[in-house]
Amino acid sequence: MRAKRAGIALAATPVLIFIGLLVLSLFVLPGAQSALACEATSGSSPVKAGTVPNGWGPLVDRAAKDSGVPASVIAAQLDTESGWNPKAVSPAGADGLSQFIPSTWRLYGKGDPFDPANAIAAQGAYMKKLMQVVRPVAQRTGKPQVSLALAGYNAGEGAVLQYGGIPPFDETKQYVPKILALAEKYAQGGDGKAATTEPATSCSGTSVSNATVGGAGDDYPFPNAEYNAGNPLTGFAYRNCTDFAWFRVMQQKGITDRSKWSALRLAPGNAATWEAAWQRQGWTVSKTPKVGAVIWYAAFAGGTQQFGHVAVVKKILAGGKVLEEGYNYGNPPDGHYYTREISANFPSAYLYVPEGRIP
DSSP reduced 3-state for 89: strand
Element of type H or E holding 340: strand 337-343
- From the centroid of its chain, how far is CA 230? 5
CB-based contact 329:338 (threshold 8 Å): yes
281 touches 275 (CB < 8 A): no
Spatial contact of 83 and 72, defined as CB atoms under 8 Å apart: no
81: annotated active-site residue: yes
In the set 39, 81, 198, 325, the catalytic residue is 81
Q: Is the dihedral of CA 3, 21, 127, 30 positive or negative?
A: negative
Alpha-carbon dihedral 345, 201, 354, 222, rounded to 10 degrees: -110
Q: Per DSSP, what are the bridge partners of residue 327?
A: 337
Cα dihedral 190, 194, 200, 201 in deg (nearest 10): -50
Q: Where are the alpha helices (DSSP H) in the chain?
A: 2-12, 14-26, 32-37, 57-67, 71-82, 102-108, 116-141, 145-155, 157-163, 170-186, 241-252, 274-280
User: CA-to-CA distance for 197 and 235, rounded, in angstroms?
Assistant: 11
Sign of CA dihedral 66, 69, 70, 74: negative
Q: Which residues are catalytic?
A: 81
